[in-house]
Amino acid sequence: MSYHLIIKEMEKRINIATIEPAAYKALMGLENYLATSTINKTLKELIKIRASQINGCAFCINMHTIDARKHGETEQRIYLLNAWKEVQELYTQEERAVLALTEEMTLIANGGVSDETYQKVKSFFDDGQLAQLMLAIITINAWNRMSVATQLAPQ
């Protein structure tokens, strides 16, 4: 018996940046704002990687693991990020609170952000920083959805 592998060429999808440059520029505006936030770069990259893992965004996982390494993140912490709850010694309490917030906001349909998670994050960050964290999570989720929907491949 012979088997034939049928390879279907992926349909080329739209490029939102080209088709709707004003909308893309608006999203970049959020990204540019976040670059000036007081949240440290490593923590921002952990947020971006974790949300991208949950959303299955290969483009963003690739980009942000590279960026995290540039900011001094270790290979071990990157490799184990999707299991952060099991490796408590690798992540600070502050990082663990932010990762919980990232997961709950990314999976918002599963019940939203719990009071426990919200209060834990509030114990480490002031209101302005909390807003910046939430905006970072919102922004990476928007990028993830755009990249996954348009099948943007890692570079």
- Residue 26 in any domain: the answer is no
Tokens of 141: 């989720």
pLDDT of 7 reads 35
Tokens of 32: 């540019």
What is the rounded distance in angstroms from the CA atom of residue 89 to the CA atom of residue 91?
A: 6
In the chain, the number of structural domains is 1
Q: What is the maximum span of the chain, computed from C-alpha positions, in angstroms?
A: 66
- Residue 129 in any domain: the answer is yes
Number of helical H runs and strand E runs in the chain: 8, 0
The secondary structure of 68-127 as a DSSP string is HHHTT--HHHHHTGGGTTT-GGGS-HHHHHHHHHHHHHHTGGGT-S-HHHHHHHHTTS-H
Nearest to 78 by CA among 45, 56, 111: 45
- Residue 64 in any domain: the answer is yes
Q: Which CATH number goes with the domain that contains 62?
A: 1.20.1290.10
pLDDT of 84 reads 98
- Residue pLDDT, tens place only, 51-100: 999 999 999 999 999 999 999 999 999 999 999 999 989 999 999 999 99
pLDDT of 145 reads 97
Domain range spanning residue 80? 39-149
pLDDT of 11 reads 64
What is the rounded distance in angstroms from the CA atom of residue 129 to the CA atom of residue 112?
A: 20
Contact yes or no for 60/143 (Cβ under 8 A) = yes
Q: Can you give the C-alpha Rg of the chain in angstroms?
A: 17
pTM across the whole model: 0.91
- Residue pLDDT, tens place only, 89-135: 999 999 999 999 999 999 999 999 999 999 999 999 999 999 999 99
pLDDT of 12 reads 81
- Residue 136 in any domain: the answer is yes
What is the mean predicted confidence (pLDDT) over 40-56? 97
With a cut of 50, say whether residue 8 has pLDDT above it. Answer: no
pLDDT of 2 reads 39
